[in-house]
Homo-oligomer: A and B are copies of this chain.
Amino acid sequence: MTSHIEDLNPIDAADRPTLDTGLLEEVLLGRWASTRREARAAAADPALHKIEGQTKEEHRRRVFDQLQLLVEKGAVHRAFPSEYGGQDDHGANIAAFEELVTADPSLQIKAGVQWGLFGAAVLHLGSAEHHRRFLPGIMDLSVPGAFAMTEIGHGSDVASLGTTATYDAEAEEFVLETPFTAATKRYLGNAAVDGKDAVVFAQLITAGVNHGVHAFYCHLRDDQGSPLPGISIADDGQKGGLNGIDNGQVAFDHVRIPRTYLLNRYGDVAADGTYSSPIESPGRRFFTMLGTLVQGRVSLTGASVAAAKLGLIGAVTYGNQRRQFNASSPTEEEVLLDYQRHQRRLLPRLATTLALTFAHEKLLTKLDDVFSGADDSDANRQELETLAAAIKPMATWHGIDTLQEAREACGGAGFIAENRFASLRADLDVYVTFEGDNTVLQQLVAKRLLSDYAAEFSDADAGALSRFVVSQAQSTVLHRFGLRRTIQSVQDTGDERRSANWFKQTEVQRSLLTDRCRQMVMDAATALRSAAKLPMKDQAEVFNRNQDALISAAQAHTDVLLWEAFTEALSEIQDTGTRQILTWFRDLYALCRIEGSLDWYLMHGRISTQRARTLTPYVNRLLARLRPFAQDVVDSFGYTSDHVRMEVASGAELDRQEEAQQYYRELRASSAAPLDERVLRQREAAATKKSRRRTA
């Protein structure tokens, strides 16, 4: 078998390694396996499933009732303090939350609004008194609430929100105000119908000073459900998906709230209007308050990976059953997944889904470390945020891209609601722009990479910097965010005899992916250095001219993160066959990423032209090699038909194909089989030829 592996020739079925699906399922379930199993058992309940084609009113009612069911099942309190009936278990909470996406993404996100945003804001930004007063109603859903951060005019740039909360020392109240239309709160889940209360983000102004954005507790509606005086609410109406959630708009016209409604963990106002905060720097204070939002990004990452898995289960299963065209046999058509292009469409996405599963597990572990207090240092919080900002865009785009490719790979069947691809894709679409617009998050990653790099060279003169670029010396600072360099840069000697083996070497892959990211950051840093002393406007222009390159660097960084997570996971798999197959999938992930930026490697001399030309044929052979294991891998995702709920994955197609083949077999064996006109014509032509020959 060794020689087969070396040159990647096809392996005979008998020689193939075996994938232990039970083992892989455990590996993929990861650290919170039992929580995930519990959550999946809950999500299997038909009462929680999306009914396709409901009106938004019906769907909203259904989802609200489902939230009540989740409360009854005790499914949504894991992150809350044990003194209020929670479990103080942040990692498990997110893991369980992610699995809800298989039931209905609207259910997931509405639960996220209630307990992950509204509730979490009270938990993380409020005091013990706030907890005592507000958490019970939030937890048992007697007080549905909105998370009123985003405004029509400001989404990603939270620091520039227009809503104000001005302290009136005489009345000991804050006055909430929407000073212009663009400051209207928008797209708030729970606002249009269900929300009784809200956490409102507004500029805190006291004693003539604006202390920046803070969070305030606020009542929205009275017990009859009517908006309170000064509060205007409008319905955002129909959306591209997630129509089980009642998104709406809220504006404030001199709405007075008690001083104590300021969620005051990171900033407080005394009765006389004096402001105080445990964090002196307004910038750091702001980012600390916003840091609690990272949970949303982490959970969207996991949910997107789960949805991609559902899509791949459907498309791979169907691709293994549906037949089309009969190029290789006159009587039997090819199974879709035997086509090279079909493999190209599905298997790299399967590999990326595995990579993302492992990367997300690391991300969730870090979140748990921070929120459990195991390591909630500033540095670790920042790492968590950067990691989330890198992986969330990749995962959410991957989710909708994979669902789309899966839908197309099933043709017209993929478009019918009974197969869910389009529905899931529509619901997950907004994941790429909410809880941090993906493009903005990627810039955040790029800036972190840059500042990390700059920190190392802040004292270095230009000469030292250029020497660094030339010698590519060991950089310890770049370690933290995956920018660690390999012990020795891989030299592409272009040795053709070893071409096939070169790309599959772990150290070659590591070096190629890591060096690219580091070089891109260095190139961008060099381009930006010149701007440091320019006026603000020119500085911004130089930065903008490099924006695209910076975002590409962030993407390259994410490629490294995923590859590292995948590679680390391999080392923990003891079973030889499973590890071998997963290693091939890791190779596929790495080589498709490298193939996608092959021009960069060529332009920068990291891969020789000769070698580069062997890459795509190598990937193609890898696809053919991995094709027999695709079904095993999707079966290892551990979802049952209660989660998948797709006709294409039900086995019905296999039954239909077998019935059709049986029909034709019997027909061919019978005397009733009609003769094909083409065959008739061939026979006639032969007879004519024969008779002509006889005549001649």
Contacts and interface: CB of A to CB of B under 8 A. Distances in A.
Interface of A: 52-53, 55-56, 150, 152-157, 160, 162, 166, 179-183, 186-187, 203, 205, 208-212, 236-241, 243, 275, 282-283, 322-330, 333-334, 338-341, 344, 404, 407-408, 411-418, 421-423, 425-426, 429-430, 432-434, 437-439, 536-537, 539-541, 543-548, 551, 595, 598-599, 602-603, 605, 609, 612-613, 616, 620, 624, 655-657, 659-660, 662-663, 674-678, 680-681
A180 B659 contact: yes
A411 B437 contact: yes
A553 B232 CA distance: 58
Contacts of A433: 408, 411-412, 414-415
Nearest to A401: B404
A239 to B, nearest CB: 6
Nearest to A426: B426
A240 B404 CA distance: 11
A156 B655 CA distance: 20
B412 A660 contact: no
A545 B160 CA distance: 55
A544 B337 CA distance: 11
A153 B656 contact: yes
Given A432-B408, A545-B340, A548-B341, A160 B239 contact: no
A341 B210 CA distance: 32
Contacts of A155: 324, 411-412
B537 A328 contact: yes
Contact of A660 (B153, B327, B438, B551): B153
Contact of A677 (B150, B210, B239, B422): B210
A675 B414 contact: no
B422 A657 contact: no
B429 A407 contact: yes
Contacts of A681: 282
A-B pairs, top 5 by smallest CB distance, nearest first, are A240-B422, A328-B540, A238-B417, A598-B599, A327-B540
Contacts of A539: 327-328
Contacts of A186: 412
A404 to B, nearest CB: 8
A612 B601 CA distance: 12
Given A53-B237, A404-B429, A422-B429, 19 more contacts: A52-B238, A150-B412, A154-B324, A160-B326, A180-B659, A182-B657, A182-B660, A208-B675, A210-B674, A212-B677, A241-B415, A275-B677, A328-B537, A338-B544, A339-B547, A340-B544, A414-B433, A426-B426, A545-B624
B680 A240 contact: no
Contact of A656 (B182, B421, B423, B545): B182
A209 B680 contact: yes
Contacts of A548: 340-341, 344, 616, 620
A208 B56 CA distance: 56
A153 B660 CA distance: 9
